[in-house]
Amino acid sequence: MERGLLTPLKLLRRQVFVEVARVAFDESENINDAIEAIPYKITPGDKPLYRESIWRERAICSERVRLSMGLSLRPEDMPVHITQGLHESDIADKYYEPPLMQVIPSACEACPPNRYKVTDNCRGCVAHPCTEVCPRNAISIVEGHSVIDQNKCIKCGKCKSVCPYEAIVHQTRPCATACGVKAIESDDLGRARINNDKCVSCGMCMVSCPFGAIADKSQIFQLIRALRRGDEIIVALAPAHVGQFGDKATAGKLKAALRLLGFKDVYEVALGADMGAVTEAKHYVEEVASGKQPFMLTSCCPSWAMLAKKYFPTTIENISNTLTPMVATARTIKKKHPEARVVFIGPCAAKKLEASRRTVRSDVDFVLTFEELSAIFEAKNIDVEEIACEEEMNDATGAGRGYAVAGGVAGAIEKCVKKYYPDVEMHIEHCESLEECSKMLMLAKLGKKNGCLIEGMGCPGGCVAGAGTNIPVNKAANMVKKVVETSATDVPPKELEEIDLG
């Protein structure tokens, strides 16, 4: 499915976040009644907009409301109010009921996971090569057209490859096709189900489902509660923000808009990326280029790191132990503002899990995606492009800001190596998408990538292609590259590696 299109599905997701945000900001409403009313606000009247039944539409909306508040889905076989568990969720602190990614059963259309089907394009040709190449005699001619017996078909695809009219299609489940670790399975009704033992929470299944049957849990409700309480909350803003809130939404306007929402300050996460680039450059030179370590894996993409740990455990010791940009920036903020709380705002769903790890919980208090932040702006009637004032945001260099695109992490490290260790020759490998990352890790495991710095990105395109982004990937990548090129400083100072963040 084309990323970045403002489809009806995207608008439905947005509406849920907007309504939940409005309830969270409102001090006058009865919260239980307000939450229970959201499905009726989004699907008013008695005629369904997208499904066969208004009741099904509202049931699906109800589950999205729960997930947007960090709550789990309701059981299908017993009556449970939308607000069941709301008391535990209605707090001004991080709230999360695992797992992160969930399939909404009532929204899933039980797409065929793997099936070849003859379409109306079949002309009933005399040659009928499809019947000739089928190794199981699964294709017969019925009333002049080809028909595939699904009980005999072995899904080899030979019939599709020889059809002169491209009348045979291969139907797959979009979420399963997008999943690079084969974590999408089927329940007893043929609906999609996520195997959480395999899942690395990249969110590609969520953005690929055209029915919106997969969603992640949000902290939007709890974060707004903390803002409303008056907490000192500082934003750690990911470098992929460029263009996500409009072509005219400059970094300065976005910072001003965030202050309007009640945030005390905004730091670029590219600052933490700069720290990481300098540190990992030194690590590469001292450990990999010297031959002490066979190869080095970047650590900033949580899905890539989870993939390595789950499926290639022997490579764990090769993952850089440098703090991820999110954590490095959060610790920098808390060193300067000990009483402050930090919200990471970025493109990535998996960062919600990273922030929940035992070693990171005290550093990052909330995680919000760009999609969720857009809904908060809408709930408060803030148009970032129309903000009159701009506030300076000059925390980082072009190298750190380039982390947002595929190849940007390795590129930043390479810039540092060339500047501070000019005599060292660097070998870089880069992979994006979990499927390609798996292939790369296998090659590294077999000793085929020794001497290399290996950058892995779970999302095809890098962070700008994360599950929580708002605009087309190519457009976002081009806008980030322009920012990198026009940054006042290209490479971070070597002194950044000496900063002790614990």
Q: What is the pLDDT of residue 361?
A: 74
Cα atoms found within 13 Å of the Cα of residue 193, Cβ hemisphere only: 9
pLDDT tens, position by position, 184-208: 999 999 999 999 999 999 999 999 9
CATH T-level assignment (fold) for domain 8-110+176-221? Alpha-Beta Plaits (3.30.70)
Q: Is the pLDDT of residue 57 over 80?
A: yes
My answer on whether omega of the bond before 338 falls inside 30° of 0, hence cis, is no
Q: What is the pLDDT of residue 364?
A: 96
Nearest by Cα to 118 from 166, 53, 187, 85: 166
Average pLDDT across the chain, whole number: 95
Nearest by Cα to 457 from 469, 447, 465: 465
Q: How confident is the model at residue 241 (pLDDT cuts 50, 70, 90)?
A: very high
pLDDT-wise least confident of 88-97, 231-240, 439-448:
88-97
My answer on whether omega of the bond before 99 falls inside 30° of 0, hence cis, is yes
Please tell me which residue, 470 or 76, carries the higher pLDDT value: 470
Q: Is the pLDDT of residue 245 over 90?
A: yes
Q: What is the pLDDT of residue 267?
A: 98
- Percent of the chain scored above 90 by pLDDT? 92
Q: What is the pLDDT of residue 120?
A: 95
* Mean pLDDT confidence for 81-108: 92
Q: Could you state, in order of their start, the residue ranges of all structural domains in the chain?
A: 8-110+176-221, 114-172, 232-498
In whole angstroms, give the CA distance from residue 358 to residue 111.
38
Measured over the CA atoms of residue 115, residue 118, residue 120 and residue 121, the dihedral's sign is positive
This prediction's pTM = 0.94
- Percent of the chain scored above 70 by pLDDT? 99
Q: What is the pLDDT of residue 98?
A: 87
Q: What is the pLDDT of residue 174?
A: 97
Q: Is the pLDDT of residue 209 over 80?
A: yes
1: amino acid identity, one letter: M
Compute the residue count for the chain: 502
373: amino acid identity, one letter: L
Query: Could you give the angle at which helices 8-25 and 370-379 cross, rounded to 10 degrees?
Result: 60
**Structural domain 114-172, CATH architecture:** 2-Layer Sandwich (3.30)
Q: Is the pLDDT of residue 497 over 80?
A: no
pLDDT tens, position by position, 35-51: 999 999 999 999 998 99
Q: What is the pLDDT of residue 28?
A: 76
Q: How confident is the model at residue 1 (pLDDT cuts 50, 70, 90)?
A: low
201: amino acid identity, one letter: S
Tokens of 491: 């490479």
Count of C-beta atoms within a 10 Å radius of residue 361:
11
In whole angstroms, give the CA distance from residue 174 to residue 206.
10
pLDDT tens, position by position, 367-391: 999 999 999 999 999 999 999 988 9
pLDDT tens, position by position, 276-288: 999 999 999 999 9
Q: What is the pLDDT of residue 140?
A: 96
CB 367 within 8 Å of CB 352: yes
pLDDT tens, position by position, 147-184: 999 999 999 999 999 999 999 999 999 999 999 999 99
Cα angle: 409, vertex 414, 394; to 5 degrees: 60
In CATH terms, are 8-110+176-221 and 114-172 the same topology? yes
* Mean pLDDT confidence for 223-228: 97
* Mean pLDDT confidence for 463-483: 97
Q: Is the pLDDT of residue 93 over 80?
A: yes
In whole angstroms, give the CA distance from residue 154 to residue 478.
43
Measured over the CA atoms of residue 473, residue 478, residue 483 and residue 489, the dihedral's sign is positive
Q: What is the pLDDT of residue 360?
A: 76
Nearest by Cα to 164 from 126, 218, 210: 126
